[in-house]
Amino acid sequence: MQSLSGPANMDLVSETEKPSLPKGRNMSDKRSVTVIGLGPMGRATVKVLLDAGYDVTVWNRTRPKLDAIAELGAEPADTAAEAVAANDTVLLSLIDYGAMYGVLEQADLTGKTVVNLSSDSPEKARKGAEWVAERGGAFLTGAYMTQSDDLKHATSRLYVSGPENLYEAHRALLEVLVPGLEYLGADYGMAQLYYQAGLAQFHAFLNALEQAVAIIDGAGADVDKYIELASQTADGYRDFTLYFGAAAKQGGWGDVANFKMMHAGAQHVIDAAEEVGVDATLTRTIQGFYQRALEASEKTGSPVPVYRILRGSAA
């Protein structure tokens, strides 16, 4: 999950950001790992590992990010192949799975474990795992469900899937990264599946928040006051999420009266937005789902919730 805090500034490495040096370590407790890809998430990963006393070898396609992270105490490699050769475990933090193939093309993956923390679809993760296995490596899919690059935020999670014994073998390393690990099974696609579902929710949330603040600001009202009120309301979404879980098992949320209320409510939002010149496309799309729920309910003679329409199981 991306957060409101925005991405870290990759170009600046202040003194206060520098992690403390590992204390009292000797060769027998040496722990080391390679991190490839130094966007905001890769860099946050490296910092957490350095803080925990790991020796970290790093590589990035473009040099300035590599040099910046080397200032923190990581060991820069000249090529991705060298970075892979340096350690048994390689963490990837790239824009997507497509980038992995070019990056690891020249590397010897024999006996290595690749943990790909990049985002992509479940099927792309499964294909990625196959590709690594063909080259003699083992694979775990990882997906950061975090508050942007704040890996240590209390709600930050790492979703992991792949062979359970491999997960167990790397658990101590992965536990360093976030307060909560979620192992989601042997299917390599599962970590991405759960992550992309969460991202679908976050995208809608962020776009809705943007629209809401635009309405307030467009009307010349107090944005700070709105943020205060909205954060109070957001606390209640947890309860509704739990309630929805039960409703989904019954085919989804709402009856015809609810769909009519939501349809009319959407119109009120559209009117409020357009009165102050704010684009209401998002709410029109939402209203369209309730329109379809009403039409399907009318046709079948029983409530057809939006959830059933999305599932494709509506009559």
Using CB under 6 A as the criterion, which residues of the chain lie in contact with ligand NAP when the complex forms?
2, 7, 37-42, 60-62, 65, 93-96, 99, 102-103, 118-119, 144, 146, 148-149
d(CA 26, CA 186): 35
**Closest separation in Å from C-beta 274 to ligand NAP:** 32
Nearer to ligand NAP, 95 or 234 (CB): 95
Nearer to ligand NAP, 137 or 254 (CB): 137
Other Cβ atoms closer than 10 A to 288: 13
d(CA 133, CA 117): 17
Nearer to ligand NAP, 56 or 304 (CB): 56
What are 137's two structure tokens? 């490596």
Other Cβ atoms closer than 10 A to 287: 19
Nearer to ligand NAP, 39 or 303 (CB): 39
Nearer to ligand NAP, 10 or 256 (CB): 10
Beta-bridged to residue 284, according to DSSP, are none
**Closest separation in Å from C-beta 183 to ligand NAP:** 18
Q: Which residue is nearest to ligand NAP (CB)?
A: 39
**Closest separation in Å from C-beta 80 to ligand NAP:** 8
∠ CA 157-49-160, rounded to 5°: 35
Contact yes or no for 191/141 (Cβ under 8 A): yes
Contact yes or no for 156/180 (Cβ under 8 A): yes
**Closest separation in Å from C-beta 48 to ligand NAP:** 13
**Closest separation in Å from C-beta 97 to ligand NAP:** 9
